[in-house]
Structure 1
Amino acid sequence: MNTQKRRPAIVLVHPEIPPNTGNLIRVSAATGFELHLVRPLGFDVDDRSLRRAGLDYHDQAFLQVHDNWEACLATLAGDIAHAPPRRLFAMTTKGSRPYHEVQFQADDVIVLGCETKGLPAEVLATFDNNHRLRIPMRPDIRSLNLANSASIVVFEIWRQNGFIGAV
């Protein structure tokens, strides 16, 4: 029986801006979170600006690229035999629940859409209202930067789980 523990994960569906993904490569390396990218991407994973934003942390990040949402889900579901399913949470400005009200588990997954459109409607539709999270902000602000939004929730998940692996 495989006793390997699953890592928490960030999923970016159709990210468009290389520096946002590069910043999250650094977050992945710093926190131990997996980072999953779902094609189509608005850049090549060898893009210079992506590499610059990720600095020299690419080899320490837990990065996987998937051809589509279904392939990403299969990877997230099938990584450890006989384990209960991972909980997935959509991050959206249309979320009905503030992220800080969730009791996060150590292998939870946050899913974010592209910078200009958010999550595709067909992906968002797979999440019930209880799994659609938002970041509280003032009413006249449309949204936060993708990398900043992911980082806010990543560090809350990590904090709630005792900063596993931190020094």
Structure 2
Amino acid sequence: MENATAAPIAVALYQPDIPANLGATARMCACFGLPLHVIEPAGFPWSHKALKRAGMDYLDHVRIIRHDSWQAFLKAMGDRRLILASTRAAFPHHAFFYAPGDILLFGRECCGVPQEVHDAAHARVRIPLRPGLRSLNVAMSAGIIAAEALRQLSAFPEESR
């Protein structure tokens, strides 16, 4: 399990409502050595079999930090930058300059995040898509943006081969 303070960045999911996406995001965080913050309430019980199926045995290798509410999450994060992934953002994710300590924040699959979360973000980024298409799966989006941030920070984990 990775130490959350040693990780170059962190990932946060705001009130996730699809257990398989939380599991897949947790798996990605385990592979990259990133902590995963989950802002409650989740739209499913933590014992849901889809969460365990998607996370597989990787759930034992990721630090998942659960926060009871948005306010509790903000308090715990202090002055770290929140970078919100949003289809409403004007700035493409690959043109943004990530910094150590950034928290990559992703909204609910059904409806994103409320305005107060948008307002609290230090920056908003989007993944460019073809015209007429709305969005990617939240777990896929988290992987794409996390990989770009790690690339910029030269912070990919060492391979163990």
With the length of structure 2 as denominator, give the TM-score of the two structures: 0.90
- Counterpart in the other structure of 2:104: 110
CA contact (8 A) 1:31 1:166 kept: no
The one-character-per-residue Cα deviations of 1:75-130 (angstroms, maximum 9, x if unpaired) are 222xxxxxxx32211110000211111121232111111001011222112235xx
Instruction: Provide the C-alpha distance between the structure 2 equivalents of 1:120 and 1:14, rounded to a whole number of angstroms.
Output: 11
- Counterpart in the other structure of 1:134: 126
- Counterpart in the other structure of 1:14: 15
Deviation at 1:29, TM superposition (A): 0.6
Instruction: Provide the C-alpha distance between the structure 2 equivalents of 1:136 and 1:47, rounded to a whole number of angstroms.
Output: 32
Match among 139, 143, 150 for residue 158 of structure 1: 150
Moved over 3 A (4+): 4-7
| Sequence identity (%) | 37
Deviation at 1:46, TM superposition (A): 2.0
- Counterpart in the other structure of 1:96: 90
- Counterpart in the other structure of 1:124: 118
Instruction: Return 5+ residue gaps in structure 1 as ranges.
Output: 78-84
Instruction: Provide the C-alpha distance between the structure 2 equivalents of 1:17 and 1:162, rounded to a whole number of angstroms.
Output: 31
What is the Cα-based RMSD across aligned positions, in Å? 1.4
Shift in CA distance, 71/7, structure 1 to aligned 2, threshold 3 Å:
farther
CA contact (8 A) 2:7 2:35 kept: no
Q: Return the letter of the residue paired with 1:49.
A: A
Instruction: Provide the C-alpha distance between the structure 2 equivalents of 1:62 and 1:5, rounded to a whole number of angstroms.
Output: 12
- Counterpart in the other structure of 1:57: 58
Deviation at 1:13, TM superposition (A): 0.6
Deviation at 1:68, TM superposition (A): 0.5
Alignment of 1:27-66 (within 5 A): 27-66=28-67
With the length of structure 1 as denominator, give the TM-score of the two structures: 0.87
Deviation at 1:42, TM superposition (A): 0.9
Instruction: Provide the C-alpha distance between the structure 1 equivalents of 2:153 and 2:117, rounded to a whole number of angstroms.
Output: 27
Instruction: Provide the C-alpha distance between the structure 1 equivalents of 2:124 and 2:147, rounded to a whole number of angstroms.
Output: 18
CA contact (8 A) 2:12 2:37 kept: yes
Instruction: Provide the C-alpha distance between the structure 2 equivalents of 1:8 and 1:44, rounded to a whole number of angstroms.
Output: 27
The one-character-per-residue Cα deviations of 1:35-72 (angstroms, maximum 9, x if unpaired) are 11111101122211101100001111010111111111
Q: Return the letter of the residue paired with 2:157.
A: G
Deviation at 1:6, TM superposition (A): 4.8
The one-character-per-residue Cα deviations of 1:113-164 (angstroms, maximum 9, x if unpaired) are 1001011222112235xx0111101120011111011110011111112234
Instruction: Provide the C-alpha distance between the structure 2 equivalents of 1:164 and 1:107, rounded to a whole number of angstroms.
Output: 14
